[in-house]
């Protein structure tokens, strides 16, 4: 069946809060679960494996589906969080081992492969860990095979104990506006429809069924906003920026992406939220509530597609509401969005 999850950092108050919201909102209509987000690898919410085991044992009800989101490093070059670096294999293996110990269904992993465009001004930094590489399109393409092969090795090493879901990233990352790409960096592998289709084909052909995709709808919607914004207002600097990924720029809505991923059975997780970030000049892209958002009908369609697939195939897809909040205890945005989606499946 379709499983409804809410995310939480490894913190007892947050976990208790999301369990309460799920019990109140979803009830017995659908299976429920918690996504444990480990945050930035060197961030303030980093928790030990022993602490996470204790939190799962003491605060997550039996029968809940647990997902473990591996640590990320979106603004620093930390090899353990980059699938183009060999060091990442040990980090992923450690999280797979933890997932097995806590009885988690899957581990979500970012590729972490961020680069500056060769013409980008970049961000001045005194420390090497903040200096992303400037790579040409040919160099990026050559690096793609390394990422794919590492994903395959991770999948074979994982065995049958836990699923590994590779998450798509937004395009661009780090710029305050689509009109200033010289400050942006990007993940050239899992952003657009073509990226995801190519990766999905590779998974189907070369990796065991333990490896699949975590599709983040807000990340993908930001990519679409970026593509559409560049098309409406092309400037010399934006044109140069987009040349690095132009062969794979597609203005494709959410439903075809989900349909494509469902075809090969490799869609394991969906992080669902709306986005009104880049296209409206926001200083930071945010993931917004689903009900009343600009992509409400499309997100309901995606949810119904996943639910129908689970019913028809007797397989499981986990849907986590990755909606931003200011209050991560009361979670008004996630509460309303969750209720809205559950109701949309019952009417």
- Which structural domain range is residue 114 located in? 2-346
CB 336 within 8 A of CB 22: no
Q: Are strands 106-110 and 163-167 parallel, antiparallel or unpaired?
A: parallel
More confident position, 234 or 341 = 341
Strand partners, 8: 36
CB 115 within 8 A of CB 132: yes
pLDDT digits 0-9 by tens, 97-131 = 999 999 999 999 998 877 655 545 544 444 444 34
**How many structural domains compose the chain?**
1
Confidence of residue 85 (pLDDT cuts 50, 70, 90): confident
Average pLDDT of the chain is: 83
Confidence of residue 232 (pLDDT cuts 50, 70, 90): low
Confidence of residue 138 (pLDDT cuts 50, 70, 90): low
Q: Is the pLDDT of residue 152 over 70?
A: yes
In this structure, what are the phi and psi dihedrals at residue 20, rounded to the nearest 5 degrees? Answer: -60, -45
Predicted pLDDT of residue 192: 86
Q: Is the pLDDT of residue 237 over 80?
A: no
Q: Is the pLDDT of residue 321 over 70?
A: yes
Over the range 100-125, which residues count as b (16 or more CB within 10 Å of their CB) and which as e? eebbbbbbbbbbbbbbbbbebebeee
Q: Is the pLDDT of residue 283 over 70?
A: no
CB 187 within 8 A of CB 219: no
Q: Which stretch of DSSP H or E encloses residue 5?
A: strand 2-8
d(CA 324, CA 289): 8
Q: Is the pLDDT of residue 225 over 80?
A: no
CB 273 within 8 A of CB 217: yes
Q: Which stretch of DSSP H or E encloses residue 42?
A: none
CATH number at residue 199: 3.20.20.150
Q: Is the pLDDT of residue 134 over 60?
A: no
d(CA 121, CA 99): 40
CB 6 within 8 A of CB 273: no
Please state which of the ranges 53-67, 103-117, 137-151 shows the lowest mean pLDDT.
137-151
Confidence of residue 298 (pLDDT cuts 50, 70, 90): very high
Tell me the H-state helices in 12-136: 12-25, 49-59, 87-102
CB 295 within 8 A of CB 252: no
Confidence of residue 251 (pLDDT cuts 50, 70, 90): confident
Torsion 164-42-117-236 (CA) sign: positive
In this structure, what are the phi and psi dihedrals at residue 181, rounded to the nearest 5 degrees? Answer: -70, -15
State the DSSP code for 159: T
Predicted pLDDT of residue 280: 46
131, burial (CB in 10 Å: exposed 0-12, middle 13-18, buried 19+): middle
More confident position, 239 or 104 = 104
State the DSSP code for 110: E
């Amino acid at each position: 069946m379709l499983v409804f999850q809410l995310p939480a950092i490894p913190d007892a108050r947050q976990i208790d809060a999301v369990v309460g919201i799920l019990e109140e909102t979803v009830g017995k209509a659908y299976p429920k679960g918690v996504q444990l987000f480990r945050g930035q690898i060197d961030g303030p919410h980093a928790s030990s494996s022993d602490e996470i085991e204790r939190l799962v044992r003491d605060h997550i009800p039996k029968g809940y589906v647990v997902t473990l989101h591996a640590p990320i490093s979106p603004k620093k070059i930390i090899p353990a969080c980059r699938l183009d670096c060999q060091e990442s294999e040990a980090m992923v293996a450690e999280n797979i081992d933890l997932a097995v110990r806590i009885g988690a269904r899957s581990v979500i992993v970012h590729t972490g492969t961020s680069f500056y465009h060769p013409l980008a001004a970049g961000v001045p930094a005194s420390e090497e860990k903040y200096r992303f590489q400037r790579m040409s399109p040919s160099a990026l393409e050559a690096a793609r095979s390394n990422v794919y092969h590492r994903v395959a090795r991770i999948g074979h090493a994982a065995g049958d104990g836990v699923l590994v879901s590779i998450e798509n990233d937004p395009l661009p990352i780090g710029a305050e506006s689509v009109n200033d790409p010289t400050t942006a960096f990007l993940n050239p592998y899992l952003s657009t429809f073509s990226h995801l289709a190519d990766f999905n084909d590779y998974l189907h052909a070369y990796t065991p069924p333990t490896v699949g995709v975590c599709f983040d709808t807000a990340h993908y919607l930001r990519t679409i906003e970026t593509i559409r914004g560049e098309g409406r207002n092309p400037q010399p600097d934006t044109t140069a920026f987009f040349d690095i990924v132009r062969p794979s720029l597609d203005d494709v809505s959410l439903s075809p992406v989900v349909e494509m991923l469902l075809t090969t059975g490799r869609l394991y997780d969906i992080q669902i939220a709306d986005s009104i970030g880049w296209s409206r000049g926001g200083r930071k892209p945010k993931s917004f509530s689903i009900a009343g958002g600009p992509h409400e009908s499309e997100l309901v369609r995606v949810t119904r597609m996943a639910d129908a697939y689970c019913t028809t195939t007797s397989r499981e897809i986990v849907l986590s509401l990755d909606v931003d909040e200011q209050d991560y205890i009361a979670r008004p945005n996630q509460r309303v969005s969750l209720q809205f989606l559950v109701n949309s499946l019952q009417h």
